[in-house]
Every structure is written in structure tokens, then in C-alpha cells.
């Protein structure tokens, strides 16, 4: 049975209510005991960081999808693609975003972390086995595997706003790496494979939003245009 966050927040976000029995042998209590105020307690190791409702460890690798499967899948939102992400927490948050919206997440190597990274697993909580993730060895593999998809690149260099696009479920919303020592790969974000470049508006002189905050805004705008199909 899938965990319902609206009904059972205690199982992840932690702590016991006063008077709750100390039956830590029960799987649901074991999950609850791992967390306090939304954070994993220090006495639990990485292998126990993320579990399903039965206390079994889960990982993003448990729900991997092949590129061919992703190309054939029927989706209710556009696909989301992170090119060479570097911060595991952002990708973990994207996994959670994709689980709740029904979005397929494409990750293009090289990645700045291991897919079993503790911070990635923490940010994704117990949604890892509910989101479909595709790993591509390079960007050409993404382009070749999704020939019928329009790639929309989100970049600060664009002039068109993200709200000026009419989104389709087959689209791929492309986001580059988080800001850092490596410059943005403009050959990827502005190459011939890109159908549109769009940006999110911001106040002048401010550099950027968090990567997955940007992706969330984009996915929900696309899903809104598509009537929130599959949602409730």
C-alpha cells in the first residue's frame, strides 16, 4: 500500500505522539523513529535513510526506466531533464516533484554525485520508488532516444518567458547544471536540438533560483495548461 502523506505524516516527519507505545519492532514505528522534525536521526546509517511503509530500504535505482521505455510512455506532463546536475539534494527534490506530478525525470551524465548519495535519498524521502528516472550517458543519447519530443531549454539567456509556451506531454523541459565553477554548457542549452529557449522572470541583479524550484514552477505551469490531468 502506498504511503499517503496527507493521512500519515508522522511515519516520515517523525517523532511520537505522547502516549504512543514504544513498539519499535513494527515496521511503521521503525520508519517513524528514524526521523525527528523532518530530519534523519544521527544514529541511523545511510542504508536505513529511506524506507518504504514496511521499513524496507529503497533507492532511486529501484525505479529506473530505460530510454526506450520513456519514449513509449504515455505521460500527463512534459518530461523533465537535468543536464549534469551537481547537487544531490536538488535531484532528490526533483524525484519527489516527479513522483507527485507523474513526470519522467531524465538525468544526463556526468553527474556530480552517486545515485545512492545520502543527501539525494534524504531529499527524495520515500518517493524514490514512485518516480521514473532515466539515466543517459550523454546528451546525444537523450536526443536520439526521444526523437518525437520538443526540447525546451530554461536559461537566463532567453528572452521569451516560460508562460509564453503551449506545453505538450511529449516535451522535454531542459535545465542545465547548478551554478558553480563550470560555465553553463551553451552548446547544450542553445544547440540545434533545442526548439525553444525560455526563462523565469526575476528581479534585476539577482542571479538565480534554486534548480528544482525552477523545475517545479515549470512543471506545474505545464500541468496547469494540460488541465492537471491525472491529479486531484
Looking at domain 61-225, its CATH superfamily turns out to be SPOUT methyltransferase, trefoil knot domain (3.40.1280.10)
Q: What is the maximum alpha-carbon separation in the chain?
A: 63
pLDDT tens-digit series, residues 5-14: 343 332 222 3
- pTM for this entry: 0.73
Q: Is residue 89 annotated as involved in ligand binding?
A: no
66-78 pLDDT, tens per residue?
A: 899 999 999 999 9
Between CA 232 and CA 210 the distance in angstroms is 27
pLDDT in tens, 130-153: 678 899 999 999 999 999 999 999
Residue 86, pLDDT score:
87
- Evaluated on CA atoms 177, 189, 127, 101, the torsion sign reads positive
Residue 56 clears pLDDT 50, i.e. is over it: yes
Which helix (H) or strand (E) segment holds residue 99: the answer is helix 88-101
Which residues are CB-contacts of 17 (< 8 A; sequence separation ≥ 6)? 10
Q: Radius of gyration (Cα) for the chain, nearest Å?
A: 19
**Residue spans of beta strands (DSSP E) within the chain:** 35-36, 39-40, 79-83, 105-108, 133-136, 151-154, 160-161, 172-175, 194-199
Q: What is the pLDDT of residue 140?
A: 95
Place 48 in a pLDDT band, splitting at 50, 70 and 90.
Answer: very low
∠ CA 59-51-43, rounded to 5°? 110
pLDDT-based confidence at residue 41 (cuts at 50, 70, 90): low
> Does the annotation flag 191 for ligand binding?
no
Domain with CATH 3.40.1280.10 in the chain: 61-225
Q: What is the mean pLDDT of the chain?
A: 77
Do the annotations mark residue 111 as ligand-binding? no
Amino acid at each position: 500500500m502506498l504511503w499517503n502523506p496527507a493521512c500519515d505524516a508522522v511515519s516520515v516527519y517523525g517523532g511520537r505522539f505522547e502516549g504512543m507505545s514504544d513498539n519499535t519492532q513494527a515496521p511503521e514505528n521503525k520508519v517513524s523513529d528514524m526521523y525527528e522534525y523532518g530530519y534523519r536521526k544521527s544514529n541511523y546509517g545511510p542504508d536505513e535513510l529511506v524506507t518504504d511503509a514496511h521499513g524496507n530500504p529503497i533507492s532511486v535505482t529501484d525505479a529506473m526506466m530505460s530510454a526506450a521505455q520513456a519514449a513509449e510512455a504515455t505521460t500527463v506532463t512534459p518530461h523533465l531533464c537535468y543536464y549534469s546536475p551537481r547537487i544531490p539534494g536538488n535531484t532528490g527534490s526533483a524525484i519527489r516533484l516527479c513522483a507527485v506530478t507523474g513526470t519522467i525525470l531524465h538525468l544526463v551524465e556526468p553527474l556530480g554525485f552517486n545515485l545512492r548519495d545520502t543527501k539525494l535519498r534524504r531529499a527524495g524521502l520515500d518517493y524514490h520508488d514512485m518516480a521514473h528516472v532515466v539515466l543517459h550517458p550523454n546528451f546525444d543519447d537523450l536526443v536520439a532516444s526521444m526523437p518525437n519530443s520538443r526540447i525546451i531549454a530554461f536559461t537566463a539567456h532567453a528572452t521569451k518567458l516560460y508562460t509564453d509556451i503551449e506545453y505538450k506531454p511529449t516535451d522535454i523541459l531542459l535545465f542545465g547544471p547548478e551554478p558553480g565553477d563550470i560555465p553553463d554548457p551553451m552548446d547544450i542549452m542553445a544547440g540545434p536540438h533545442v526548439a525553444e529557449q525560455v526563462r523565469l522572470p526575476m528581479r534585476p541583479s539577482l542571479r538565480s533560483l534554486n534548480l528544482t524550484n525552477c523545475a517545479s514552477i515549470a512543471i506545474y505551469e505545464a500541468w496547469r495548461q494540460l488541465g492537471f490531468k491525472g491529479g486531484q
